[in-house]
Chains A and B, each alone.
Chain A
Amino acid sequence: MGQANNKSNAPTRTFTTLVFDRLASVKFAVTVVVVIAVACITGTLIPQGTDVAKYIRQNPDAASRMELFGKLGLTHIFYSLWFIGLLCTLAATVSVCSTRRFSTVLRTSGYARYRAFGSMLTHISILLILTGGVIRGVWGEKGYIELREGETNAQFVTEKNVKLLPFGIHLAKFEIETYDQPKTDTDDKAQAKQGDCCNALLVAWPEKNLKATLPVKVGEEQGFGEFKITILKYIPDFIVDMQTHEITSRSSEPRNPAILVAVNGPTYQNHRWLFAKFPDFTMHTKDTPATGPSPLEMIYQNHGVVEHKTMPTGPIKSFKSTIQLVEGESVVGERTVEVNSPFHYKGYTFYQSGYNPDDLSYTSFQVVKDRGVPVVYTGFALMIAGLFIVFYLNPWFDARGKTA
């Protein structure tokens, strides 16, 4: 019985040993690396993914060639199964090499054992980096979210579908900074292009017989008697979303222009929406109810000037957004996002990714959820440390040993 078992296991063991021996050989590892390098070269010479359509538009004669490449799977090399298979083979050969080396090292003692540490670290780091890539590929999420100033959204669009965030993102402000025009407070606050004649806030205080025409400058505090008046927001085409009860803009055209005005005085404070087309109608915000009857009369005038931020002149230095995190009905935090300075919240990272030069109240963010990043970064650190040990620390100890 025992002999029969041994006989049936013998070919399996031989095959396994053969595979392990092959994976552990430097020759095989180098061959795999060379094949991956050739695949990489091919991937840079043949347009990949979304670049294919662009390439065909620019080179119509190449359409049939690109179709052939597509059929051969050469237009999505880096995400193809065979390329992922090659990376897995690399991972397997690195794993087997490391395991065998580790078991050999364990049989040694003293300095020889420590000498192998750098090489081990380097090879383990490759596995960590590949593991991080797998975590991203399998569990990662990546998409885009577009927002207009004043809008809130809790969905982002991926390549395949729309996904829901566990919180909402409200774009409070988007701004572009250029090199030629140093940013000033006035620039920062003057968000709308308008003239006093066509777009203004008429304020009257009947009790004191005071009247004024204030320019509509979003964010700028203006004095009127003992009151401070600030226009907090401008919406060109005001609408309340019936499902979310969010105030939003249907378009960038001033079809239903409205402004949110904050009035602050010693005896009266209030936030209210004023509508250019409905001067008799005002809407108080829920969170800031009026502190008594208003002593001020206000009329918002907008005579059809298309209000939009103008594209600043000069090279773009930076663009950034002030966004608020909304959970349920309340704002739980406010962050600034700019290029090279993303923000992280509940496992998601938001990257400032773009803007529309024709409508600067719009901006877009890349939304990424990738738990593999810390694993990859650990791999990076270990690889640098491992290489440093192999190339510099080990030779230094070797030299010290010789001189000792």
Chain B
Amino acid sequence: MFLSAGAVAQTIYMAVRWSIAGRAPFSNMFESMVLLAWAVVVVYLALRIRRQIPVLGAATAALAVLTLAYASTFETKIQPLMPALRSNWLTVHVFMCFLGYGGFAVAALASIGYLIAARTGSKTRPEITSAFDAATAKTISFGFLFLTAGIMTGAVWANSAWGTYWSWDPKETWSLITWFIYAVFLHCRFMRGWKGKRAAWISVIGFASVIFTYYGVNFLLSGLHSYARS
């Protein structure tokens, strides 16, 4: 209930900011972190996993609050866009990627939940661990579809702005690495039947890659996406 109210409030905030700025509010660290917090909550709510694992809702809410708190440390002023960022493809690209990231974030929370439940001996309630496991697969499938769409719309945007759809820029390359990790997860899961700890660890590693793709690359590696530091 509170989570839904928070998501609605944040949706209104983003819509107002969009209206004032005259563009989608997805173009700097502050705006993208607000979008990430929103995506995490919306994906959790949309995938209808709250009834099976109520504790995942609390973890999702905590992650969203932490993300918003960290977002507030960045410049919050609406800034004009540089020419290359003035594209509808950018809006779609960022939105898709962050829905994907939201899915992977919830998956990582579910995987951590699984690992904790497995370690603390929830064998007496196997339905909890299997619910965590199922939630991991469900959210990763969702995240993978949207990350794929995000990478592809990003490639189309790059081709219209810079004349190349793929330039092995660090951000692009790390997106591909993340995509590979989750592709491995999906193949191991659906072709080899991997479940439990092994699947949970791949999910956690995948989300570490998401964090590095989103955050680490901006600050540690230079490239076409270096504008995203501000």
Task: Report, as a range, how many residues of chain A touch the other chain.
Answer: 35 or more
- Does A99 count as interface, using CB distance less than 8 angstroms? no
Min C-beta distance of A325 to chain B, whole Å: 18
Min C-beta distance of A82 to chain B, whole Å: 15
Q: Given A44-B174, A48-B168, is A339 in contact with B163 using a C-beta cutoff of 8 Å?
A: no
- Does A319 count as interface, using CB distance less than 8 angstroms? yes
CA distance A286 to B136 in the complex (A): 74
Interface hub of A48, A78, A387 (most chain B Cβ within 10 A): A387
Residues in chain A near residue B156, CB distance under 8 A: 377, 380
A339 engages B86 (CB within 8 Å)? yes
Contact among B84, B165, B173, B177 with A340 in the assembled complex (CB-CB below 8 Å): B84
* Interface class of chain B by DSSP: helix
Residues in chain A near residue B161, CB distance under 8 A: 339-340, 351
Please tell me which stretch of A29-37, A253-261, A301-309 contacts chain B, meaning at least 4 of its Cβ atoms lie within 8 angstroms of it. Answer: A29-37
- Does A142 count as interface, using CB distance less than 8 angstroms? yes
* Interface class of chain A by DSSP: helix
- Does A17 count as interface, using CB distance less than 8 angstroms? no
CA distance A88 to B222 in the complex (A): 28
Which B148-187 residues have C-beta < 8 A from chain A?
Answer: 148-149, 152, 155-157, 159-166, 168, 170, 173-174, 176-177, 180-181, 183-184, 187
CA distance A351 to B164 in the complex (A): 10
B148 engages A391 (CB within 8 Å)? no
Q: Which residue of A lies closest to B169 (CB)?
A: A44
B191 engages A340 (CB within 8 Å)? no
CA distance A384 to B165 in the complex (A): 17
A40 engages B173 (CB within 8 Å)? yes
CA distance A373 to B79 in the complex (A): 33
- Does A264 count as interface, using CB distance less than 8 angstroms? no
- Does B87 count as interface, using CB distance less than 8 angstroms? yes
Q: Which residue of A lies closest to B79 (CB)?
A: A315
- Does A388 count as interface, using CB distance less than 8 angstroms? yes
Pairs A-B, 9 closest by C-beta atoms? A339-B83, A380-B152, A179-B80, A351-B163, A78-B168, A368-B163, A340-B87, A366-B163, A391-B141
Taking Cβ atoms with an 8 Å cutoff, the residues of B that contact A are 79-84, 86-87, 89, 141-142, 144-145, 148-149, 152, 155-157, 159-166, 168, 170, 173-174, 176-177, 180-181, 183-184, 187-188, 191-192, 217, 221-222
Taking Cβ atoms with an 8 Å cutoff, the residues of A that contact B are 26, 29-30, 33-34, 36-37, 40-41, 43-45, 48, 51, 78, 133, 142, 179, 315-319, 338-342, 349, 351, 353, 366, 368, 373, 376-377, 380, 383-384, 387-388, 391
